[in-house]
Amino acid sequence: MNDAPITDAVTPFHRTGFQPIPWGHPQNWPDVRDGHDGALRADPAECALQASDDLAAIQAWLQSKQGRSPHTLEAYRKEVTRLLLWANDRDQALSDLRLEDLLAYQDFLVDPQPANRWIGAGRKYALNDPRWRPFAGPLSTASRSQALRALRNLYEFLATTRYLRFNPMAQVIRPTPAMTAPGSRHSLSSTQWAAIRAVISALPQDTAAQRQHQARTRWAFTLLYLLGPRLSDLTGTFGDIQPYPSGPEGERIWAWYILGKGHKPVHLPFNDELLLEMGRLREAFGRGPLPCADDDLPLVPRIRGAMQRPMTRKGLDALVKTVLGQAVQRLHVSGHATEASLLSQASAHWLRHTAGTEMLNVSGDLRITAELLRHTDVRTTQRYTHKTLADLLQAISLRTAGW
């Protein structure tokens, strides 16, 4: 890969009415229009915000989202940064954009051009790297829908607080992903999961570091496949896994405490297979099979550097994608071209969909599946009754990762 800086450089400059993006401005990109006199600005006397310009209003919106997960907040900042840079190239501020402008931006997301200016050279770079670009490539339908959902939320906030006179985003319809066959949406087939297991089982184990990597990969995929957590849930420590009493006889069940997206708490019980895999991972990192209450070993430890530091969400995503890519190759070689083609579209979130789909199949209980996946939509979760750890453990025990 050619890592030479992209030469279609953007020269920074500073003028009245222009400011750097306060939550992180990319190097070598010009300051953006602050919109202090934007065409859609409402009367400041009627505005609920003290913001004097677009950037301050956006920061107020981000502050209102502080209860969201760090990953969600980062996604919001990323989408707003993209829009600000795009608008600035059109000599516009965010508060200048009308419906036609936002429709043009929606089209732009399908294929950001010129590519040399907007799309990075094969990998992600830090904001202070001159090779940084807003996009890694054209956005998928789902990614465009997610981007527009974030911007819709921003514009609703700006209109509701009377920073803007009206919401020009209200008539922009998010793209809808293509329909898929019932039960097949983003779920792994048994053939695909078998290929993933084969890839992990074939990882070298000659050195201590290789054995740690293999155990860590197998452990992470077991958690994702059986319990359906989000990648951000895997950045905790083994101190979050403790025995809890459940049932009238006070039986103690090992369970993983998660406070995840939407700050919804849940205890996910471990069946015998999960306990065995946990012990296998901990043994590879020199620990006993069961964690103590103050256990500081990360759920998915780093191998190089400080072991007490967990893998980042970005690192976990790269780990999952590497295994999925190797499983795709294995399926091609074994003559499963269709399965390989479908798996090539997979991400870590497919494992979560698989956990939910198969849990519903084996338990037949929508409430147990909702408890496993921690549904956050109040209109959905209010219909569910809380299930005990014993109920959830019984359902989880009906499945196996098949090692």
CB under 8 Å to 7, separation ≥6 — which residues? none
Residue 367 Cα distances to 177, 185, 380, 383, angstroms: 27, 20, 10, 8
pLDDT, tens only, 288-326: 999 999 999 999 999 876 666 888 888 899 999 999 999
State pLDDT tens for residues 165-220: 999 999 887 665 444 443 345 789 999 999 999 999 999 999 999 999 999 999 99
Residue 201 CA from chain centroid, whole number: 26
Q: Is the pLDDT assigned to residue 327 strictly greater than 80? A: yes
Extract the tokens encoding 26. 């990319």
> Residue 15: its pLDDT value, please?
62
CA nearest neighbour of 125 among 114, 115, 136, 117: 136
Q: What value does the mean pLDDT take over residues 269-279?
A: 95
Query: How far, in Å, are 13, 204, 245, 270 from residue 307 at the CA level?
Result: 43, 20, 31, 24
Specify the pLDDT at position 185: 53
What integer pLDDT is reported at residue 187 of this predicted model? 83
Question: For residue 27, how many other CB atoms are within 10 A of its CB?
Answer: 14
Residue 342's Cβ-count burial label (10 Å; 0-12, 13-18, 19+) is buried
Exposure string of 103-120, with b = 16+ CB inside 10 Å and e = fewer, is: eebbebbeebeebebbbb
Domains observed in the chain: 18-171 (1.10.150.130), 190-396 (1.10.443.10)
Strand partners, 251: 246
Please write down the HEC assignment for all residues of 4-43. Answer: CCCCCCCCCCCCCCEECCCCCCCCCCCCEECCCCCCCECC
DSSP tag of 166: S
pLDDT at 208 (0 to 100): 92
Count CA atoms closer than 13 A to 248's CA, side-chain side. Answer: 0
Which pLDDT does position 375 carry in this prediction? 59
- Helix 141-160 crosses helix 99-110 at what angle (to 10 degrees)? 160
What pLDDT, on a 0 to 100 scale, did the predictor assign at position 400?
A: 85
Average pLDDT value for the chain: 85
Average pLDDT rounded to a whole number, residues 345-353: 88
For 49-101, how does the pLDDT look when each residue is reduced to its tens digit (9 = 90+)? 999 999 999 999 999 998 777 888 999 999 999 999 999 999 999 999 999 99
Higher pLDDT, 107 or 184: 107
The continuous run of DSSP H or E covering 269 comes out as strand 265-269
143 burial via Cβ count (<10 Å: 0-12, 13-18, 19+)? middle
Say if CB 46 and CB 26 are below 8 A apart: no
H helix and E strand count, the chain: 14, 5
SS3 state at 194:
helix
- Band of residue 366 on the pLDDT scale cut at 50, 70, 90: low
282 has pLDDT over 70: yes
What is the spatial distance between Cα 226 and Cα 188, in angstroms, rounded to a whole number? 12
Tokens of 118: 């907007």
> What does the pLDDT read at residue 4?
40
Q: Report pLDDT for 6.
A: 42
Whether the per-residue pLDDT at 12 is higher than 50: the answer is: no
The pTM for the full model equals 0.58
Region class of 185: left (phi > 0), else alpha (psi between -120 and 50), else beta: beta
Q: How far apart are CA 349 and CA 355, in angstroms?
A: 10
Query: What span, in angstroms and rounded, lies between the C-alpha atoms of 341 and 338?
Result: 5
Tell whether omega for the bond before 114 is within 30 degrees of 0, i.e. cis. yes
SS3 316: helix
Q: What is the DSSP letter of 386?
A: P
State the pLDDT at residue 401: 87
Token output for 372 = 């496993």
What's the whole-number mean pLDDT along residues 274-294? 95
